[in-house]
């Protein structure tokens, strides 16, 4: 794969204008949208090996199984879902006008908005670029994509893939670093989607504000798993382990910390350790364990453990090997670690971890656990574990998160008919399936007056009818 040059910042505005002019000249109809999605599906499916190689090269190593599941399968499923439902999504939706406006009728028409800008992240660099692109294309828009600079080989793969599928005036890709990203955010898009950290999300929203560009922000936060006293620990540990150490914890909806009833805290720790040893053996040469994306992120995670130790907090490292520390750092291989009962002031509880460190906290009552969750910002995901439906309902009623999987982790992300998005610091708006289609559409309200109906209700004979209506409503 030949290296492609970064996009000159000076070219961004002209490219957006070209995309907009082409969209204005010929807005995509059903046939074009469907054809575009089919070509994308076929081209992407044929290039899955190249995708896998690019992602593994960017991470230093990432499990091919994780790439196939989280990148390829989810993207292909999203395309197939859109193809299956596209005609129905595009159809005008009936809306009632109420008896006061009879004999008029009304409908809501999903209309494309124009050019959608997409800023995608590095942690799932294909899925989180192509899934919103699928929604934007299905909704009849043109797209300008800016992938993360932290996965340059994958960004290059995306640029070449999309150039093969789409004309340059329908989908364009910009490559570059933070300066280009800032300039990209400031373009007058018809809609802008950003997936990434809350801190950068604030900057993107500020850059979009002068143009009053509508934004969808898919951010993050500290997603808790709450294990109730009635739930089997071995099953909870297995499902939490998947939700935490998939992609080495570099997942926006990954489990950030665990709350468990006080009497079973140590038993849960042992169950989690058993899961780690069963999944990753001795960590000598792990093939199914993903590396940290870059040295900066590795150092940040190491600082969290250093901070915990300095505070006297117990840190459990089942794969600790002092002799391998330097070699692991060079490979960005950060083994899983548990931090037991850190205080709220610990760095590991002050920030979204986004790595393979898992704090384990105990609680005495469910009310105490719920209160602890509510002390933090509303998270992107919440994972309650209980076989008691009343307890689950209590948790759902007294907390609020972007999305919830009950008695498991991560799975709500893959349900196409569920909206995926956060609330407050964890995000604005939602995508996936019809929710993504609607996010990139203008749901246009249209009121149809009957040709033979009077249009001036203040003239006779309608004035008398209005007077009668007012008298009736005043009774």
Determine whether 317 is an active site residue.
Answer: no
Bin 7: left if φ > 0, else alpha if -120 < ψ < 50, else beta.
beta
Q: What are phi and psi of 212, to 5 degrees?
A: 50, 35
Q: Which tokens is 180 given?
A: 């280009």
CA dist 90 to 13, 84, 170, 324, 441, Å?
30, 12, 19, 57, 10
Whether the CB-CB separation of 421 and 216 falls below 8 Å is answered with yes
The one catalytic residue among 78, 228, 252, 352? 252
Bin 403: left if φ > 0, else alpha if -120 < ψ < 50, else beta.
beta
The one catalytic residue among 71, 218, 228, 352? 218
Torsion sign across C-alpha atoms 347, 352, 356, 357: positive
Whether the CB-CB separation of 27 and 87 falls below 8 Å is answered with no
**Which residues have C-beta within 8 Å of that of residue 164, sequence separation ≥ 6?**
43
**HSE-CB for 372 with a 13 A CA cutoff:** 24
d(CA 364, CA 323): 40
Determine whether 234 is an active site residue.
Answer: no
Q: Which tokens is 125 given?
A: 């660099």
Positions marked active-site: 218, 252
């Amino acid at each position: 794969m030949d290296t492609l040059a970064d996009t000159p910042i000076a070219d961004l505005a002209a490219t957006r204008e070209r995309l907009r002019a082409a969209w204005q000249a010929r807005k995509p109809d059903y046939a074009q949208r469907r054809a575009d999605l089919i070509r994308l599906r076929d081209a992407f499916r044929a290039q899955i090996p190249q995708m896998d190689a690019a992602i593994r090269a960017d991470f230093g190593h990432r499990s091919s199984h994780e790439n196939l599941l989280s990148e390829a399968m989810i993207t292909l499923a999203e395309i197939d879902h859109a193809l299956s439902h596209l005609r129905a999504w595009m159809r005008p939706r009936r809306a009632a006008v109420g008896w006061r406006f009879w004999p008029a009728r009304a409908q809501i028409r999903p209309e494309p908005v124009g050019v959608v800008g997409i800023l995608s992240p590095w942690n799932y660099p294909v899925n989180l670029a192509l899934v919103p692109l699928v929604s934007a294309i299905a909704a009849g828009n043109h797209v300008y994509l800016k992938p993360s600079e932290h996965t340059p080989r994958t960004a290059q793969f995306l640029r070449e893939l999309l150039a093969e599928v789409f004309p340059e005036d329908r989908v364009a890709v910009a490559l570059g670093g933070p300066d280009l990203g800032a300039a990209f955010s400031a373009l007058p898009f018809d809609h802008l989607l950003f997936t990434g950290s809350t801190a950068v999300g604030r900057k993107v929203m500020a850059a979009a504000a002068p143009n009053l560009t509508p934004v969808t922000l898919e951010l993050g936060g500290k997603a808790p798993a709450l294990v109730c006293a009635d739930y089997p620990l071995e099953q909870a540990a297995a499902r939490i382990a998947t939700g935490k150490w998939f992609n080495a914890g570099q997942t926006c909806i990954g489990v950030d910390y665990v709350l468990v009833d006080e009497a079973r805290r140590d038993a849960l720790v042992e169950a989690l350790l058993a899961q780690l040893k069963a999944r990753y053996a001795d960590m000598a040469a792990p093939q199914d364990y993903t590396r940290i994306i870059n040295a900066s992120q590795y150092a940040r995670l190491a600082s969290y453990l250093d901070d915990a130790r300095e505070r006297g907090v117990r840190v459990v490292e089942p794969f600790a090997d002092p002799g391998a520390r330097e070699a692991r750092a060079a490979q960005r291989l950060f083994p899983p670690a548990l931090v037991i009962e850190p205080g709220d002031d610990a760095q590991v509880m002050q920030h979204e971890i986004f790595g393979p460190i898992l704090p384990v906290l105990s609680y005495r009552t469910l009310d105490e656990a719920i209160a602890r969750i509510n002390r933090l910002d509303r998270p992107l995901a919440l994972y309650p574990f209980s076989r008691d439906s009343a307890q689950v309902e209590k948790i759902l009623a007294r907390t609020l998160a972007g999305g919830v999987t009950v008695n498991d982790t991560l799975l709500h992300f893959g349900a196409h008919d569920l909206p995926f998005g956060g609330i407050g610091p964890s995000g604005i708006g939602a995508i996936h399936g019809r929710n993504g289609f609607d996010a990139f559409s203008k749901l246009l309200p249209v009121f149809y007056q009957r040709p033979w109906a009077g249009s001036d209700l203040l003239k006779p004979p309608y004035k008398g009818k209005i007077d009668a209506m007012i008298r009736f409503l005043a009774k």
